[in-house]
């Protein structure tokens, strides 16, 4: 495993649409290594989720860990089938360090995806997990959270110096 460099806000790759992973390639070493590296990178930077595009790979792969005892979740070629409800939430992003803002996200989603064993799966997610899935799927479509921030709520936080 290895830490990957996180692409930040000015990087034009963040605005590109990711491509599907070929189902036959999911269990290949290259994709499995990418997944392991993404999980390590996400945890190292205290993130909740990470999309492959954020580490410079235009493939539909996301990892999420909301520390619910079930993660990290690995979603390959995710497709949101259904959403329910909506709520205003505080969001940040590893590609936009020290920036936070309020966005409106569904309270529940149903997402279909392939897991890392290439098994097609459906997941009904609520609250933070639903929010994280929406945030990361947006990344796969070239949408970043600052595009969705409610006007006047974007804040820049100065990092603590230790």
**88 given a catalytic annotation:** no
Q: Which of 12, 88, 91, 136 is catalytic?
A: 136
With beta carbons less than 8 A apart as the criterion, state whether 49 and 62 touch: yes
Give a three-class secondary structure readout of 28-97.
CHHHHHHHHHHHHHHHHCCCCEEEHHHHCCCECEEEECCCCCCCCEEEEEEEEEEEECCEEEEEEECCEE
Report, as residue numbers or ranges, the catalytic residues: 136
């Amino acid at each position: 495993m290895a830490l990957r460099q996180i692409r930040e806000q000015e990087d034009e790759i963040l605005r590109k649409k990711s491509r599907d992973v070929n189902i036959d390639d999911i269990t290949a070493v290259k994709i499995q290594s990418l997944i392991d590296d993404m999980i390590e990178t996400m945890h190292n930077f205290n993130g909740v989720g990470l999309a492959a595009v954020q580490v410079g790979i235009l493939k539909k792969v996301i990892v999420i860990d909301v520390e619910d005892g079930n993660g990290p979740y690995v979603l390959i070629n995710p497709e949101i089938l259904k959403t329910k409800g909506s709520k205003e939430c505080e969001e940040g992003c590893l590609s936009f360090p020290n920036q936070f803002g309020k966005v409106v996200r569904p309270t529940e989603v149903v997402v279909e995806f392939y897991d890392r064993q290439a098994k097609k799966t459906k997941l009904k997610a609520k609250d933070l997990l639903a929010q994280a899935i929406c945030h990361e799927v947006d990344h796969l479509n070239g949408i970043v959270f600052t595009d969705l921030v409610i006007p006047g709520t974007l804040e820049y936080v100065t990092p603590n110096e230790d």
